[in-house]
Structure 1
């Protein structure tokens, strides 16, 4: 068995640590702060699990990931996914095309007229055009998932080291020497880097072949804005998640979970514009400041499209998206170092499956899907 160091304990890092540890490998995860902390991309309790992809490759991956989530919930004894169903609408979203993918992949769904959808969900104004409903969608509790995977990894002997920012990784005769900001070091035969929005600042310093680094797709980190709006009437069951894509704006929404509870303990609906924030160099450059123009744009959207919400956000936050040009993930490596950026704002739903893919890649058991490769 090999020794591994995993750098970063967000969803991808936690999933990879768990998958490697359960196979009997010696694993140490080095987290710069605490797992799923607010400075990264895996914090909070509200991430969308949806099957709605125009690309059958990703729709099938969601189905595969759901099997992995079921196992994780069973082993951890926790409910990590709340089923809500999901709605897709808007001309650019093209619900009819998504429905054809669902038919191909075998995802339960209904393609409704806007009128029929409005009768079922009067809290939405769907405008005109078709609306796609798929009931198997839901909300992932990201923070609880990270905690569960690391807890299971520990039962298999993994070490989880917090407050350990990695400053350098050097190749040695037997593997790699990882140095942290406090001067402490770790040795591992193989290293896996899953640092999310911190990756752009670390990538060039990794001891990887020049050809690999030159072929690595450019990463654009976005500081995104998200808002929580109160419901006009307390829902008897969770609102569906939704994605609404028009030529003017791409908006998503989901029940807010624990992220912004109201005084009575309930939460509102989390609503955000996809890639509606501002570009930053990397996670170290984030400010946590909300863009007032974006707040105004989303509030106007809620007023226009979501009559079931009070168009006054009671809470707001920022988060990080680390985007590739194609929105495909990156999972590849060379010389004993695997770099994983399962990113572009849609990776959370795949977490336990991605952990398996990253572990397979790092161990050499199975190559990653070709579209995740840096070099062919």
Structure 2
């Protein structure tokens, strides 16, 4: 039981215990700072964006800036795995194909940042991965893998708590007010925490919270327009044998992650892990879910039209998978117009929003970047600054 009559305090209050918030707590606590993490549900909640065992770790970006950030993040993952004693990324390699995905352009970027890769013709890729079909050249980079998001959250929080951080669950932040000596955070049930600085890592819950953060006017106006989508993810079982009667490739060793971007659909797939009993591949359409105002409006209902589009993709491009789903779920994507991460601050409030379905791979690095920003050891890269982005047609 918490003593609700006693105001808790810390130098830093972190709102949200997903991958982003856990990373910030870990990096700040290990530096010796007083940290308290406030989570409205539980760490890696199924109502957020950091639950489950299957997220893609990949280097494939057409932008050298982000590809270089992945290289930095990989060092953080290695540090986290060593410190926690857990394997958090399972190697799988990754395939990129489709005319819009531009495998050759990706290969040029990976050359620039020094990441091992191979550009394959359609026939060569088809011979190596007969469980998939390809319609363009294919980029293969073996350093990719599958992130266990939930285990990663717990690993970072355990390290943070070992270094002195406090974690409060069931603590739904209602509003934040600026006072003479910092900030007072008040929960929906009236509990309070005092902090010198606040880091907001609320994921899909951020849009509903923004208006209650007591942000300086100019900073509030500079916040981008956030779009939250309730995405659908579908699990398709591995076939026991190929269309030609041969035994199917061993799923544990031969199914890579993949990203396909064509003219009619953009999808991604990865081994589903324990999320669906290790029986198949998780496949989803990128930004295929319906737009909602914030995470508070999610209902967990699967979009039948989205299921039909993804199943059609599987039938065309993944003969090694059964064409019917055996498990389905929803998750949250938080998008901004330019797809850049938001890591910016004004006064004592920092907004951290990795955005656009890309945050998981950067998790250990996010805490480093925020640590440097809030302690004055560094400043936010211009790419991460809030600059008032709006989606086309949006009214400001």
Q: TM-score per shorter chain, which class?
A: over 0.9
Q: Which structure 2 residues correspond to residues 190-229 of structure 1 after superposition, within 5 A?
A: 190-229=197-236
Structure 1's 171 and 74: CA in aligned 2 closer, same or farther, altered over 3 A? same
State the shift of 1:32 in Å: 0.1
2:334 aligned with 1:326, yes or no?
A: no
2:352 aligned with 1:352, yes or no?
A: no
Among residues 57, 67, 86, which one is paired with 2:75 in the alignment? 67
Among residues 228, 242, 265, which one is paired with 1:249 in the alignment? 265
Q: Which structure 2 residues correspond to residues 1-376 of structure 1 after superposition, within 5 A?
A: 3-127=11-135, 129-233=136-240, 234-261=250-277, 266-374=278-386
Contact 2:201 2:352 in 1 (8 A): yes
Which structure 1 segments of 5+ residues have no match? Answer: none
Structure 1 Cα separation of the partners of residues 252 and 46 of structure 2: 30
Structure 1 Cα separation of the partners of residues 80 and 349 of structure 2: 27
State the shift of 1:267 in Å: 2.5
C-alpha offsets along residues 114-166 of structure 1, whole Å, 9 cap, x if unaligned? 00000000000102x21000000001000000000000001110001000000
State the shift of 1:236 in Å: 4.8
For the aligned residue pairs, the C-alpha RMSD in angstroms reads 1.1
Structure 1 Cα separation of the partners of residues 177 and 38 of structure 2: 15
Structure 1 Cα separation of the partners of residues 212 and 45 of structure 2: 24
C-alpha offsets along residues 33-56 of structure 1, whole Å, 9 cap, x if unaligned? 000010000000000000000000
Structure 1's 319 and 132: CA in aligned 2 closer, same or farther, altered over 3 A? same
C-alpha offsets along residues 3-52 of structure 1, whole Å, 9 cap, x if unaligned? 10000000000000000000000000000000001000000000000000
3-state DSSP class of the match of 1:237?
helix
Structure 2 Cα separation of the partners of residues 375 and 176 of structure 1: 24
C-alpha offsets along residues 77-97 of structure 1, whole Å, 9 cap, x if unaligned? 000000100000011101000
C-alpha offsets along residues 222-273 of structure 1, whole Å, 9 cap, x if unaligned? 0000000000035251510000110100010000011111xxxx33100000
Contact 1:238 1:255 in 2 (8 A): no
3-state DSSP class of the match of 1:311?
strand
Structure 1 Cα separation of the partners of residues 238 and 39 of structure 2: 37
Moved more, 234-243 or 328-337: 234-243
State the shift of 1:375 in Å: 5.1
TM-score if structure 2 supplies the norm length? Answer: 0.92
Structure 2 Cα separation of the partners of residues 362 and 47 of structure 1: 28
Structure 2 Cα separation of the partners of residues 238 and 143 of structure 1: 24
State the shift of 1:320 in Å: 0.3
TM-score if structure 1 supplies the norm length? Answer: 0.97
3-state DSSP class of the match of 1:310?
strand
C-alpha offsets along residues 312-351 of structure 1, whole Å, 9 cap, x if unaligned? 1000000000000011010101110101111110110000
State the shift of 1:364 in Å: 2.0
3-state DSSP class of the match of 1:230?
strand
Contact 1:277 1:291 in 2 (8 A): yes
Which structure 2 segments of 5+ residues have no match? Answer: 1-9, 241-249, 389-396
Match of 2:247 in 1: none
Contact 1:241 1:253 in 2 (8 A): yes
